[in-house]
A and B are shown apart, each in its own frame.
Chain A
Amino acid sequence: MKIRKYVRILPGSVTVDGTPLAVDAAGADLLAELYRSFVKDYPKFFKMDVLCKLGVVATELLVMGEADRFTPREDRAVLLFSHSGPLCNDRNYQKTIAEDDFFPSPSLFVYTLANIVTGEIAIRNKYEGDTTAFELASFEPAPFVAAVRDAFEDRVTRSAICGWAEAVDASHFAAVMMLVDQDAAEGLDFTPENVEKIQSNQA
């Protein structure tokens, strides 16, 4: 099992396979810049909460250029881990119901579940395999690798978009995501040690 590609997105920097990507924007504008540069034709992006935007653009950086890009497939899973889940969106939604004469926002409400991000990635890319969102105190490579390896035991999954995606608010977020492939001949071995190196930008 190999890590075929990996990406780190922080408010001030983006790296793909350890190589910095030239970006002009930072913070809240960074995800929109990545969308305009790499996704381009998916206006639903602007309706998403920060966590979903982060997951969608990170996935785009992992899979762009793949053959048969939008052919539906069951063999690719989406497994994301975070600490806060959709909490920043929950806060925004809560503001819409905080006053007596309130108007709850349907478009914010639909993003108030932790697993919406994995669903949005699956919908965008036509992945019909397992989608799971985990919430952990922090990103720890060993349990992360174990959980992803477990997902490959279903005899269907051969590939996974997986990693850490954390959004505190519109300007503070972090993604360490990777494309893991059961059959890849090249790439980093999918081990806690290599995941830790990717996490700390030392791979």
Chain B
Amino acid sequence: MEELIKNIKLQIIEALNLEGMTPDQIDDNAPLFGDGLGLDSIDVLELIVLIEKNYGIRLTSPAEGKKVFQSVAVMADYVAKNRKK
């Protein structure tokens, strides 16, 4: 799980152009939106693309995305249980 969390952090940094940020600077349990990384609605769409492209998981509703993208830890747990590649 630790490796998956690190990979997801690296993928988030790359996909969202989080300049100057390293995986260590992203708290596993911090909210990705609002007070956490401060991501916006376009970033949500990028994350949806990210998990489909890298893990073969297709999210079908915004409500599902809201749950999955609570934090990196929640995202990694969801990916581990639902990944197709």
A interface list, Cβ under 8 A from B: 32, 43, 45-47, 103-107, 110
Contact = CB atoms under 8 A, between A and B. Distances in A.
A105 B47 CA distance: 10
Nearest to B17: A46
Contact of B16 (A32, A47, A103): A47
B18 A103 contact: no
Contacts of B42: 47, 106-107, 110
A11 to B, nearest CB: 20
A46 B16 CA distance: 9
A46 B15 CA distance: 11
Given A106-B46, A107-B17, A107-B43, 16 more contacts: A45-B19, A46-B17, A46-B18, A47-B16, A47-B42, A103-B53, A104-B49, A105-B46, A105-B49, A106-B45, A106-B49, A107-B15, A107-B16, A107-B42, A107-B45, A107-B46
B52 interface: yes
Contacts of A104: 49
A47 B49 contact: no
Nearest to A48: B17
8 closest cross-chain pairs (CB), A and B: A106-B45, A46-B19, A46-B17, A103-B53, A47-B17, A103-B49, A107-B46, A106-B42
Majority-rule SS of B interface residues: helix
Contacts of B49: 103-106
Contacts of B38: 43
Interface string B11-34: 000011111000000000000000
Contacts of A105: 46, 49
A43 B18 contact: yes
Contacts, number: 29
A107 B18 CA distance: 13
Nearest to B49: A103
Contacts of B17: 46-47, 107
Nearest to A102: B53
A108 to B, nearest CB: 10
A128 B19 CA distance: 28
A95 to B, nearest CB: 14
Contacts of A103: 49, 52-53
23 contacts: A32-B19, A43-B18, A43-B38, A46-B17, A46-B18, A46-B19, A47-B17, A47-B42, A103-B49, A103-B52, A103-B53, A104-B49, A106-B45, A106-B46, A106-B49, A107-B15, A107-B16, A107-B17, A107-B42, A107-B43, A107-B45, A107-B46, A110-B42
